[in-house]
Amino acid sequence: MSKRPQHLLRRIDGVPYLLPFGQAVVDARRAARLDEQGAWLWERLARLPEGADPVRFLANEVMAAHGELTAGDRPGIENDMRAFLGDLGSVGALPGEGQTVIGVQPTRDGCPQRTSEASVTAGPVHMRLTGRVDLLDGAFDAFARQTKGNACATDAPASAPVEQRRAGRAGTELAVTLDEGPAPSAAGMRVLLQAPEITVCADDEGYELFFPLAPGLRAMRVARDGSSAVLYVTDPDDLPSLSLEALAELSRGAADAPDRRFGSVRERLAFDLFHAIRQPFLVASQTAGLFVMHSCSFAYRGRAWLVSAPSGGGKSTHARLWHDEFGVPLLNGDLNLLGLEDADRDTAASARAYGIPWCGTSGVCRAFDLPLGGVILLGKATTDAADLLPRGGERATLGVFNRLISPTWRENQLDANLAFSRGLAGTVPVWRLDCTARPSAARVMRAAIDAWLDGSGDDARG
């Protein structure tokens, strides 16, 4: 057993949790709630010497900490330690095998060809795209501003924003180059995670990303702070032509849209480029204190409201009920960018939500900048009931944290996500809505929101 864990011990509202990061997230490892004794044992387990028996080691630690124990107590203690390690193993929280280091020689040559340029704005994040922007085939049209050359976008968004972006918050700049030159290797880099659709490696300067299921994407280099990225691409004319059967097989490899079918390699390349650019966007946003939540959103009473649940949990259905019942505009059907604004002497801390170009398979994607009203965490039930969770408490914080898709490749990224989750859960209301898929669910939730906004809810707005 290596001493390097793939879970971190963190406290949420004073309660110890083991939270997965890096490869453990890809492997769908779960968070684990511990008691104080379990937290103490985990901290001791982190000191396990190489090659030592963890049961004997932990038993020795317990015996040393409790002087009243005798040799006769040892068999029972060792049995308890086996049970503790078994509980950790059941959620995949035993220390992992560390990180693989890639040992090949780097090459960093090449220059862009047939360059074009586009400027894309998503909330406070401004992306400048250069290089083979034409390969995107208009994927960022609704969020693009000034363009030149044969870039992908028009001078104005394709769909009008719900509210124009306010002046005052400093923008975050991200430069993305689509380069036809030779891709760099990952020489000497550590492998942080591997999944069928992505491999993430790291060194002190940044990240190298590879996309095994994306033909035409050779690699992506991302600065550690997300300020820049270079995506190494292959011109679709240089890719082999494929039969209809091969294209159908290729379509099944699209992780972001498994049911989508592509008519050409170029169409598939544009799709993969669009979704690959989301990775440096997430890094840049996180560095700037902005985080992305897997959620649907709609506008109501001048605020954005988020509906979140695991995939298939009914968030799109619930948001659609609001639209059908009350005529509210839907904002994004899958992802929303969130930020907290610091309190000063005269104003309370506040949260904002922003539209971003990515919206899963929903097709609901608008540019917007609105105050965040609150978060609705869905659960399926046979009746409808909205429970306002304690402000900043364990359930609200963990509920927000579990729905963020901002990277947890490294330990500091997990800590950034957790700190933001605490802040958000302490700033806006978070509800647990156990509900049906009937219109009554939207009516129950609207009544709860109205009560909170009007100051008559269980935790009325201050």
Judged by phi (left if over 0) then psi (alpha if -120 to 50, else beta), residue 80 lies in alpha
pLDDT at 160 over 70: no
φ and ψ at residue 361, rounded to 5 degrees? -95, 10
Quote the percentage of the chain above a pLDDT of 90.
56
Find the DSSP H helices in 330-406: 394-403
87-91, 111-115, 357-361, 441-445: range with lowest mean pLDDT: 111-115
**Is 125 in contact with 174 (CB distance < 8 Å)?**
yes
**pLDDT, position 249:** 65
Report the run of H or E that residue 284 belongs to, with start and end: helix 278-287
**Is 209 in contact with 197 (CB distance < 8 Å)?**
no
- Domains of the chain, start order: 7-90 (no CATH), 116-285 (no CATH), 289-453 (3.40.50)
Residue of higher predicted confidence among 282 and 48: 282
Burial class (CB in 10 A: 0-12, 13-18, 19+), 342: exposed
**pLDDT, position 462:** 33
pLDDT at 305 over 80: yes
180-189, 406-415, 439-448, 453-462: range with lowest mean pLDDT: 453-462
pLDDT at 371 over 70: yes
Report the run of H or E that residue 76 belongs to, with start and end: helix 74-90
Residue of higher predicted confidence among 158 and 449: 449
For residue 170, give the DSSP letter.
Answer: P
**pLDDT, position 247:** 61
Helix orientation angle between 36-45 and 54-65, rounded to the nearest 10 degrees: 120
Mode of pairing for the β-strands spanning 206-210 and 217-223: antiparallel
Find the DSSP H helices in 220-262: 244-251
| Gap between the Cα atoms of 93 and 310, Å rounded | 21
pLDDT at 413 over 50: yes
Judged by phi (left if over 0) then psi (alpha if -120 to 50, else beta), residue 321 lies in alpha
pLDDT at 364 over 50: yes
**Is 278 in contact with 335 (CB distance < 8 Å)?**
no
